[in-house]
Homo-oligomer: A and B are copies of this chain.
């Protein structure tokens, strides 16, 4: 299957940020980076794949933990340089800490 991924602009490192949202609750679960290969796999396999900048390797989200993300829809923004991925989250959640979302820490006044 061929998608209109020529609309997506990857940065100088060949990466694009992908915001992952729970399609049922609309909560933002995480943000990670995709390269062309991981985006193609995400669209074809209908599960999220990212590119780990720290490990310099492709990363199939939840492959070992079971917290896979089934892809519902993928959007790109007006500039084409950010993705929004709507998913069905499997397992306990999206965060490596075990949390449902990576965004649990609030910037508060001390």
Contact = CB atoms under 8 A, between A and B. Distances in A.
Stoichiometry, copies per complex: 2
A108 B77 CA distance: 14
Interface residues of A, number: 41
Given A28-B19, A109-B2, A110-B3, A104 B82 contact: no
A110 B7 CA distance: 12
Given A19-B19, A95-B78, A97-B78, A107 B30 contact: no
Interface of A: 1-5, 7-8, 17, 19, 21, 25-28, 30-31, 43, 73-80, 82-84, 95-97, 99, 102-110
21 contacts: A2-B109, A3-B107, A3-B108, A3-B109, A3-B110, A4-B107, A4-B108, A4-B110, A8-B107, A17-B31, A19-B31, A28-B28, A28-B84, A74-B107, A75-B104, A75-B106, A77-B102, A77-B103, A78-B104, A82-B102, A83-B107
